[in-house]
Amino acid sequence: AGVYFFHGFLVPVLAALVIAFASWPLYRRLLAALGGNRTVAATLAILFILTFLVVPIALAGAYASDEVREWVGWAIETNRHGAVTPH
Helix/strand number for the chain, H first, E second: 4, 0
Residue 70 in domain: yes
Residue 11 in domain: yes
Local confidence band at 1 (pLDDT 50, 70, 90 cut-offs): low
Residue 87 in domain: no
Distance CA 67, CA 14 (A): 28
**pLDDT attached to residue 71:** 96
**pLDDT attached to residue 72:** 96
Residue 86 in domain: no
Residue 12 in domain: yes
| Residues spanned by the domain of 15 | 2-81
pTM comes to 0.62
| The dihedral sign for the CA sequence 35, 29, 45, 11 | negative
Distance CA 25, CA 44 (A): 13
Give the chain's domain count: 1
Q: Is the pLDDT of residue 2 over 80?
A: no
Residue 9 in domain: yes
Residue 31's nearest CA partner among 23, 41, 39 is: 41
**pLDDT attached to residue 39:** 96
Q: Is the pLDDT of residue 8 over 70?
A: yes
Residue 26 in domain: yes
Residue 72 in domain: yes
pLDDT in tens, 19-77: 999 999 999 999 999 999 999 999 999 999 989 888 899 999 999 999 999 999 999 99
